[in-house]
């Protein structure tokens, strides 16, 4: 974004320099749409910040220069470590929620600046590829990010966050190698809305919520660390607003709606009146949701509902605690295998799981064993086991429990670690979840390994629970749903993965723009499979939960409760609004509503009914 020249727009420039003074509105209102990231309304002047790009031209070197480049890299690593340590010292002045979000991220940064694959790989590229340190860093970061993003995983947001962490450290190293300055926020006037091409998580850590009214950027999305930080700081934000930096000028008045994802430049008097009313409304809503944290998730007729969190990486633990989750309904363990050259052993698994179980303070933790498919290019797996045959269709190939039964040493290491962690926890706190189950024999085979590992650990003198942790099955294919009554005889509980279930049922990859419009979890076929699996579990009085995106949608809670589900696992940020929905519902109304929905054959009609119930237009009772 280009700042106005003083002689061209002196009033606007003066307004930008004087906190609290508004720039004159010289043109009609313009609305720019972006991605809603952090709810809230911000009213203020635009203030742009620019930062030299963290890039450097590719450069080759002679053999004689290798040692000098290694030393340049080492100096940049040392400088970066000091900067990360300095950022960590600043945590004390941030709100508690932001501290809890940023500290694990900075710890991850510090680890990557140690003897990590990124640093080792960069050194190797300098030595064997004869390239300058900044070129080596960029190439290695790109390679690692590509591996992470190519992983087969439902949680694409988590993959993007991990890739972003690697690229952020690479940018920091490049700045230190090229002596490019970092962004400064010292001159941002109080009450201004920060406008930028991009804001990194480290940038967000430098923002003062008491001074910055809002944040609007050209790049970014709702699921990155920057977005999480802005939400934790409570700063209204809209990211991914293309065209923003061309349209807005320093000193322009703005109204930013972080819930709708809109930015109004040169707002009309009517827009300003509306915005001020909304500011008051948001304050009331935040107070209301904050009070929910300590209230139980029970319906109006006293039916208890468990609200748990899905967890991708340990850095999410603080957000899970803040949200008031009653446990972790899905702990994905792929993070242990990513960005490493060797397979994690039993002790590495224990070291990863034990702090998570301890942090949940007696709430249940469901640990899903490795869900890896043939297309997941994890270096540790490629190096640690025989290469798997490349599948022409990885989604239908050797993945999940199929792969683990082919490579039982992986399953044994995870089982052993989980059993050891369970031995140090209260009974019933830890559960084990098997991915991509399609037939009862897979659960039976996994249980035989599970019990064999338990016997071995007992002979070794390890403390284990008297009753082994429950072994559950993911229901995420039509075959598993239709065979649920048979699978239920082998499993101890079900977790319905609605994302994959909808994908496999409808033969739609929702990441494919050509067919994503066909992805519909409210399709009657998907709902009937969910109903069949749920009823199979309930007949045996077996626990069943939802751990896909449907579980975090407040509009769908009445339908899910009506189908008989009493445990929902979701992204932590969704828990307060889902709890709010639960506490407004009557189970009898939900059951009648679910029966009405299941009578329908038209997805459009189902959506009408769902929307009508959520808005109160559909009759309850």
**Angle, alpha carbons 297-158-156 (nearest 5°):** 100
The Cα–Cα gap between 257 and 278 comes to 9
Helix 66-89 vs helix 133-149: crossing angle, to nearest 10: 60
Query: Considering 225, 266, 349, 523, which one is annotated as catalytic?
Result: 225
First-residue to last-residue Cα distance in the chain: 55
The enclosing H or E element of 569 equals strand 567-570
Three-class HEC string of 320-343 = HHHHCCCCEEEEECHHHCCCCCCC
Q: Which of 605, 583, 87 is nearest to 299 (CA)?
A: 583
- Say whether 523 is catalytic: no
The Cα–Cα gap between 257 and 236 comes to 7
Q: Where are the alpha helices (DSSP H) in 234-331?
A: 244-247, 269-292, 317-323
Find the Cα–Cα–Cα–Cα dihedral 504, 508, 509, 513, rounded to 10°: -170
Q: Which of 17, 6, 58, 59 is nearest to 192 (CA)?
A: 17
3-state SS of the chain: helix, strand, coil percent to 5? 50, 10, 35
Helix 66-89 vs helix 96-112: crossing angle, to nearest 10: 160
**Angle, alpha carbons 544-599-539 (nearest 5°):** 30
The Cα–Cα gap between 80 and 109 comes to 9
Residue with tokens 């009753």: 467
What is the DSSP-derived secondary structure letter of residue 304?
A: B
**Backbone dihedral region for residue 24 (phi beyond 0: left; psi -120 to 50: alpha; all else: beta):** beta
Q: Where are the alpha helices (DSSP H) in 508-569?
A: 524-539, 557-562
Per DSSP, which regions of 138-280 are E strands? 193-196, 214-217, 237-239, 253-257, 262-265
Number of DSSP helices (H) and strands (E) in the chain, helices first: 24, 16
The Cα–Cα gap between 131 and 498 comes to 47
> What's the token pair of residue 141?
């970061």
The Cα–Cα gap between 158 and 311 comes to 9
Query: Considering 266, 349, 523, 547, which one is annotated as catalytic?
Result: 547
- Say whether 225 is catalytic: yes
Q: Which of 490, 412, 488, 504 is nearest to 450 (CA)?
A: 412
Residues forming the active site: 225, 547
């Amino acid at each position: 974004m280009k700042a106005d020249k003083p002689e061209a727009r002196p009033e606007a420039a003066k307004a930008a320099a004087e906190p609290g003074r508004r720039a004159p509105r010289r043109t009609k209102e313009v609305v720019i749409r972006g991605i809603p990231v952090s709810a809230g309304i911000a009213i203020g002047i635009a203030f742009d910040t620019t930062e030299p790009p963290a890039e450097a031209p590719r450069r080759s070197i002679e053999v004689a220069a290798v040692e000098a480049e290694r030393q340049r890299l080492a100096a940049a690593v040392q400088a970066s470590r000091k900067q990360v340590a300095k950022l960590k010292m600043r945590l004390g002045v941030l709100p508690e929620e932001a501290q809890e979000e940023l500290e694990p991220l900075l710890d991850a940064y510090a680890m990557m600046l140690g003897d990590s694959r990124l640093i080792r790989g960069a050194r190797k590229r300098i030595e064997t590829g004869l390239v300058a340190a900044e070129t080596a860093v960029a190439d290695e970061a790109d390679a690692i990010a590509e591996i992470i993003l190519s992983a087969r995983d439902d949680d694409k947001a988590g993959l993007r966050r991990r890739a972003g962490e690697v690229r952020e450290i690479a940018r920091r190293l490049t700045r230190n190698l090229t002596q490019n300055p970092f962004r400064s926020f010292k001159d941002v006037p109080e009450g201004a809305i920060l406008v930028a091409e991009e804001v990194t998580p480290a940038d967000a850590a430098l923002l003062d919520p008491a001074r910055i009214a809002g944040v609007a950027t050209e790049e970014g999305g709702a699921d990155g660390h920057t977005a999480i930080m802005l939400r934790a700081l409570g700063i209204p934000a809209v990211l991914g607003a293309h065209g923003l930096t061309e349209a807005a000028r320093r000193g322009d008045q703005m109204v930013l709606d972080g819930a709708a994802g809109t930015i109004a430049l040169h707002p009309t008097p009517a827009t300003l009146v509306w915005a001020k009313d909304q500011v008051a409304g948001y304050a009331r809503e935040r107070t209301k949701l904050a009070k929910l944290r300590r209230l139980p998730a029970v319906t109006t007729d006293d039916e208890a509902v468990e609200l748990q969190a899905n967890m991708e990486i340990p850095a999410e633990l603080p957000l899970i605690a803040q949200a008031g989750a009653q446990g972790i309904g899905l702990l994905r363990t792929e993070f242990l295998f990513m960005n490493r050259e060797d397979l994690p052993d039993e002790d590495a698994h224990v070291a990863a799981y034990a702090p998570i179980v301890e942090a949940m303070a007696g709430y249940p933790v469901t640990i899903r064993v490795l869900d890896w498919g043939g297309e997941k290019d994890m270096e540790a797996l490629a190096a640690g086991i025989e290469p798997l045959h490349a599948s022409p269709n990885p989604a239908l190939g050797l993945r999940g429990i199929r792969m683990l039964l082919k490579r039982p040493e992986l399953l044994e290491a995870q089982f052993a670690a989980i059993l050891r962690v369970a031995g140090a926890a209260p009974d019933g706190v830890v559960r084990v979840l098997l991915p991509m189950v399609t037939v009862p024999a897979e659960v039976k085979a996994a249980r035989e390994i599970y019990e064999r590992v338990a016997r071995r650990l007992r002979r070794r003198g390890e403390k284990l629970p008297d009753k082994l942790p429950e072994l559950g099955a993911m229901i995420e294919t039509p075959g598993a749903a239709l065979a649920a009554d048979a699978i239920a005889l082998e499993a101890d509980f079900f977790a319905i993965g609605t994302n994959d279930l909808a994908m496999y049922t409808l033969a739609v990859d929702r990441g494919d723009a050509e067919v994503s419009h066909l992805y519909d979890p409210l399709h009657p076929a998907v709902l009937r499979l969910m109903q069949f699996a749920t009823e199979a579990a309930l007949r045996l009085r077996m626990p069943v939960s939802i751990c896909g995106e449907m579980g975090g949608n407040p509009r769908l809670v009445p339908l899910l409760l009506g189908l008989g589900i009493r445990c929902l696992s979701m992204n932590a940020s969704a828990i307060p609004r889902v709890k709010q929905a639960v506490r407004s519902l009557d189970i009898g109304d939900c059951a009648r509503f679910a029966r009405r929905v299941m009578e329908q054959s038209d997805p459009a009609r189902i959506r009408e009914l769902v929307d009508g119930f959520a808005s109160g237009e559909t009759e309850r009772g």
